[in-house]
Amino acid sequence: MPFDVEKARADFPILSREIKGKPLIYLDSGASAQKPNAVIDAMSAAMRHSYANVHRGLHTLANETTDAYEAGRETVARFIGAQTNEIVFTKSATEAINLVAYSWGEHLQAGDEILTTEMEHHANIVPWYMLAQRKGVKLTYVPIRDDGSLDMAAFNQLLTPKVKLVAVTHMSNVLGTINPISDIVAKAHSVGAKVMVDGCQGVVHLPVNVKALDVDFYAFSAHKLYGPTGLGILYAKADILENMPPWQGGGEMIAHVSKEKITWNEPPHRFEAGTPAILEVIGLKAAIDWLAQFDRGEIAAHEHALYQRAHDRLSRINSLRIHGEAPGKGAILTFSLGQAHAHDVAQILDRYNVAVRAGTHCAEPLMTRLGVTSTVRASIALYNTDAEIDVLAEAVAKAQSFFA
């Protein structure tokens, strides 16, 4: 159906909350999005009506819950254009990337290289740093341009046959930059490198088809996609998963255990040791099903219009610097306000019930590149409105006068 922001907002009970008699304005969805009733109700119904542990159970509740859990896997696979056996559930996107580093990364040798970028979230840096320390692999950073776009000329120079993995974000959680993933993948594959994409922001704001992109690995989290916390998703090509060893031992990931020998389950279960996030998968399915009622293109247009409104209003404020203005960027607006610390700015905005994120945003190498110690980030979601953006602009203007 056509996207209607008021209809969408009505599905989020928290958005009707008032604090000290004024509406809540939530512009922190890049950290974690709010949850629609569909998600809340689905998880509650599963606990009230049909909950048991999944797989191997023979009773009715176990079968019902297993069916619901695996239906969640099927829904995720359809959502990103994957096969069901290519979807691994983890506790977070961070864990999904670590899984790749510790399992697939074991075949790397000293002298091999990993390319990442200056704009990455720590989750797409630290696991590769740890792998480099463990295996003697070289970790190299592709620089960004002043507008926040990736320096593709530098990428082309750094991409040599020694590179075995390119780890890159689909959409920067700080700058909103949307990287040319198809181009990066084609170039990486031409020298025999695999590509790991951090899709935590990308999958929320962009239609994603992993087969069309031809990525080898794609990770994202449920809680940024209007679903619950405690659940990450790793997509990996079936043939790659088949040749990856398990990275955690326990129940479910095994085929057979004896005193003398243990054999592994088939992917994706090989990588899901122990009781999984059952209710969270059910909640994520509900979130994706809820999102499917809207036209993704219309949502993107709505979010872009809000970003442009915010950009236009905030850019008029003296001493305010917007970070990241790459062409075609997503609906994330990050800024500095003179010499004021980002935490102080965020606290003033909170007086007007405007919730934003302040700090390094788990991207310290990027902060160094930008020449700042911290920034304020307003991340826009489908449920935000023109009126909320106007309150943001007014609150930032008042903060600016406070620090003048």
Give the separation between CA 374 and CA 42, rounded to whole angstroms: 38
Collapsed DSSP state (helix, strand, coil) of residue 323: strand
Give the separation between CA 227 and CA 207, rounded to whole angstroms: 17
Give the separation between CA 87 and CA 267, rounded to whole angstroms: 9
DSSP 136: T
Which two structure tokens, joined as six digits, stand for 339?
A: 């010499």
Q: For 318, phi and psi rounded to 5 degrees?
A: -60, 140
Buried b (16+ CB within 10 A) or exposed e, 13-38: eebeeeeeeeeebbbbbbebbbbbeb
Q: What is the sign of the dihedral through the CA atoms of 176, 177, 183 and 184? A: negative
The answer to whether the CB of 233 falls within 8 A of the CB of 222 is yes
* Backbone conformation region of residue 193, classed left if phi is above 0, alpha if psi is from -120 to 50, else beta: beta
Give the separation between CA 192 and CA 29, rounded to whole angstroms: 36
The answer to whether the CB of 6 falls within 8 A of the CB of 387 is no
Angle between helical axes of 37-49 and 278-291 (0-180°, round to 10):
140
Radius of gyration of the chain (CA): 22
Which two structure tokens, joined as six digits, stand for 388?
A: 């909320």
The answer to whether the CB of 78 falls within 8 A of the CB of 62 is no
The answer to whether the CB of 314 falls within 8 A of the CB of 334 is no
Q: Cis (ω within 30 of 0) for the bond into 268?
A: yes
Name the catalytic one among 126, 152, 273, 362.
362
Collapsed DSSP state (helix, strand, coil) of residue 28: strand
Collapsed DSSP state (helix, strand, coil) of residue 168: strand
Collapsed DSSP state (helix, strand, coil) of residue 98: helix
Concerning whether 362 is annotated as a catalytic residue, the answer is yes
Which two structure tokens, joined as six digits, stand for 41?
A: 């109700």
Nearest to 274 by CA among 57, 35, 54: 54
Which two structure tokens, joined as six digits, stand for 138?
A: 């070289």
Catalytic residue annotation: 362
